[in-house]
């Protein structure tokens, strides 16, 4: 079973214009969310050195714990897309208690993050308009296969040359912000280490 995540990002989008296009192609708005994330690593940051992280996320209607790892890393500054991303996700029942469990197992919290998301869907494709503190909104397209992702890009009239396969950390780096320098990245402000 493959754990490859079929997901791309399009940066600096106009959320209103994009939502009009989503209506035209027959997508349905399924919700607006506020996410809280706690990102964990070992004390020696070995996951970070491998382009990986463990994320605990309160999505409002569910809580997930996810291992993510960049595949085919070509740059660490966000100037080049990765080949792909591995993702293994499970639902957990409690945000705070799961964080406590991870800490008891020896993990440390690298940082806390927040973001807002507007989700649209069409068939098997999710279109997420993400807003993060101090970043311009961007679009994330995720589907079970790369063919479905490519079809969604074509349906929206987006240029495949503009797609990015990378993490939000890389977007922050493109904007001169290294997440590892902060313990809190939130809409009410950033807190340095």
Could you list the beta-strand ranges (E) of the chain.
4-5, 7-10, 28-41, 52-58, 63-71, 84-92, 108-122, 125-131, 138-142, 182-186, 189-192
Q: Is the pLDDT of residue 77 over 80?
A: no
Of 41, 51, 48, which Cα lies nearest the Cα of 72? 51
- Residue in the structure block whose two tokens are 């809280």: 36
Contact 41, 69 (CB under 8 A): no
pLDDT digits (tens, 9 = 90+) for 150-169: 999 999 999 999 999 888 98
The span from the CA of 135 to the CA of 5, in Å, is 23
For the entire predicted model, the pTM comes to: 0.89
* Mean pLDDT, residues 40-59 taken together: 95
The span from the CA of 92 to the CA of 65, in Å, is 7
> What is the pLDDT, as a whole number, of residue 114?
97
The architecture (CATH level 2) of 4-192 comes to Beta Barrel (2.40)
* Mean pLDDT, residues 90-94 taken together: 97
- Residue in the structure block whose two tokens are 């961007």: 138
Q: Is the pLDDT of residue 1 over 60?
A: no
- For 164, the token pair is 């990015």
Tell me the domain boundaries of the chain: 4-192
* Mean pLDDT, residues 91-105 taken together: 97
> What is the pLDDT, as a whole number, of residue 38?
97
The span from the CA of 150 to the CA of 17, in Å, is 20
20's CB contacts (< 8 A; 6+ apart) are none
**Whole-angstrom distance between the N-terminal and C-terminal Cα of the chain?**
39
């Amino acid at each position: 079973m493959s754990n490859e995540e079929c997901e791309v990002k399009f940066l600096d989008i106009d959320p209103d214009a994009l939502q009009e296009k989503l209506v035209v192609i027959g997508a349905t708005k399924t919700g607006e969310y506020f996410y809280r994330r706690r990102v964990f690593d070992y004390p020696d940051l070995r996951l970070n050195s491998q382009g990986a992280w463990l994320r605990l996320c309160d999505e409002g209607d569910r809580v997930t714990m996810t291992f993510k790892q960049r595949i085919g890393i070509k740059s660490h500054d966000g100037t080049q897309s990765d080949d792909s991303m591995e993702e293994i996700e499970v639902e957990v029942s409690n945000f705070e208690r799961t964080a406590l469990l991870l800490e008891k197992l020896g993990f440390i919290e690298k940082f806390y993050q927040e973001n807002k998301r507007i989700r649209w869907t069409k068939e098997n494709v999710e279109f997420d308009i993400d807003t993060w503190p101090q970043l311009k909104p961007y679009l994330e397209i995720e589907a079970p296969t790369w063919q479905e992702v490519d079809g969604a890009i074509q349906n929206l009239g987006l240029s495949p040359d503009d797609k990015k396969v990378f993490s939000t950390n890389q977007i922050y780096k493109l904007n001169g912000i290294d997440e590892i320098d902060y313990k809190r990245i939130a809409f009410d402000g950033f807190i340095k280490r």
